[in-house]
Amino acid sequence: MLVLTRKSGESLIIGETIAVTIIEVRGGQVKIGVEAPREIAVYRKELLEKIRSENVMAGKLQKKNDKVVSLAEIILKNKK
Amino acid sequence: MLGVKRKTKHYYLETARWGTLEINPDEVIHFSRGIPGFESCKQFAIFNADDIKPFQWFICLDHPDIGFVIIDPILFCPDYNPKLYDNDLEEVAFSKSDQLGFYVIVTIADDPQKSTANLQGPLLINLTKRMGKQIVVVDERYSVKYRILSD
């Protein structure tokens, strides 16, 4: 991991198309501005962790086949 | 005889969890980085089972004890159309004429009616090239725990 120290108002350039700016440092929080092309996704890391842990939970299906069957039945019933 | 479909390409996989699976190599989907939490699962296949329609099984062929319930999100979210980023399209080798599709992974709850679908981390599938990626949908409108039976 590249570690740099920046002050409010200072920036980093990543590749040639992404700029990260420290906008404000207050209390234990840092306000960060990111300029990036629209084709590049920028998101909080927690989002990836949320997806990972949801996958793990969903994968624990083990012996719940009957629950899937009953959910399927409810959905089909709702459609009629 | 012309036009007769021969199943010579299909092969069978013996699994403890699902019994014998019949697999068509042309339908296997390759996830080059696996999916978060299951990075070593690179080959998946989708299986139908009449008793769970409209849901389907999404089974890892590398580790067949690993499988998920999936569903087409259009069935309960007709305008589901999350933005795709360059990295997403690159990872599924997308080119202009390819057909893309989404599936979402379902988390079955103890009370089945409280089951949820992950709309924030859908499976993006390049149906033409048989490649997939679980993408991150940045749009906060879509929930990781979308209640399928919400009204």
Are A54 and B118 inside 8 Å of each other by CB? Answer: yes
Residue B4 in any domain: the answer is no
Question: Could you tell me the CATH number of the domain that includes residue B110?
Answer: 2.30.290.10
Domain containing B110: what range?
11-147
Distance of residue B97 Cα from the nearest chain A Cα, in angstroms: 19
- What is the Cα–Cα distance from B23 to B1, expressed in whole angstroms? 24
Reported confidence tier of residue A61, pLDDT bands at 50, 70, 90 = confident
Residue B136 in any domain: the answer is yes
Task: Give the per-residue pLDDT at B17.
Answer: 84
Residue B5 in any domain: the answer is no
- What is the Cα–Cα distance from B134 to A56, expressed in whole angstroms? 14
Reported confidence tier of residue B151, pLDDT bands at 50, 70, 90 = low
Q: Give ipTM to 2 decimals.
A: 0.91
Residue B115 in any domain: the answer is yes
Task: Give the per-residue pLDDT at A62.
Answer: 65
Residue B60: is its pLDDT beyond 90?
yes
Residue B54 in any domain: the answer is yes
Reported confidence tier of residue A40, pLDDT bands at 50, 70, 90 = very high
Handedness of CA A40, B147, B131, A62 (dihedral sign): positive
- Model-level pTM? 0.90
Q: For chain A, give the mean pLDDT.
A: 92
Residue B94 in any domain: the answer is yes
E-strand ranges in chain B read 11-15, 19-23, 29-30, 43-47, 56-60, 67-71, 100-107, 116-117, 123-126, 131-134, 146-147
Residue B3 in any domain: the answer is no
First to last CA, chain B: 53
Distance of residue A47 Cα from the nearest chain B Cα, in angstroms: 8
Task: Give the per-residue pLDDT at B4.
Answer: 57
Task: Give the per-residue pLDDT at A66.
Answer: 87
Residue among A43, A61, A74 whose CB faces B138 most closely = A43
